[in-house]
Amino acid sequence: MGKAPSPSPRHGDPSLQCQYGWQVRRMIEKEAEMRKVAQVQAEAFHEPVIFFNDLFFQFFQAEVLSGLFYRLRKSPPDRYACLLAEPASGSPQEPRQELVGVVDVTVLRDEAVLQHLLGVNEYLYVRQKVASALLKGCDVLSVRWGYHYLALRAYEDDWGARKLYTNAGYRIVSGDPPWMTTWIGRRRRILMIKRSNLGE
């Protein structure tokens, strides 16, 4: 089971999904939008510190933006996408709304994941916490790109995210080994997978 040839351009993809009042689309590769994406991701995952928090946040945001540029430069358009969620607008001519969510989708070949996916050598990996509309966008992208499985990692103690992913069809297949989570402050992650709607 490989990938079906269905390349899509990375620039200006139309909406992938519109549901619950949110539109999910692929990020447009323009610096202003990429900076907004880095801002949203940094705000979601920055761990506040007591001293110099603003300075550390700026460094973290620059690191997130640098990582985004790197992934776009090094990945073919059918192996990496950054999906955005924003309020659904009435017409395509309306200016872009505020971003409310971001998710990275990457094609990977991690053996620790593949052992749970019989008969495939690649899958789509969904990074970051996402809402239902973004998960639907990932489903659409998996069908467009021709991948049979999606995989993500979530924190074991993040019950809200686990419920969201379970309701979207993901199931837990494994977790971080205990020796990886005995470090102070290191939260245990679980691996969740879902079969895509390809071929339905």
User: Where do we find the tokens 């990457």?
Assistant: 106
Q: Which sign, positive or negative, has the C-alpha torsion 193, 172, 186, 159?
A: positive
Residues noted as catalytic: 165
**Vertex 93: Cα angle to 87 and 96 (nearest 5):** 40
Please give the Cα distance from 164 to 166 (Å, whole number): 6
Q: Write out the H or E segment, with its range, that includes residue 59.
A: helix 53-74
Of 45, 68, 75, the residue nearest 57 (C-alpha): 45
Q: How far from the centroid of its chain's Cα atoms is residue 142's Cα?
A: 12
Pure H helices in 75-131? 111-114
Tell me, what DSSP letter sits at residue 82? E
Please give the Cα distance from 28 to 25 (Å, whole number): 9
User: Where do we find the tokens 């971080």?
Assistant: 176
Q: Which sign, positive or negative, has the C-alpha torsion 194, 65, 63, 101?
A: negative
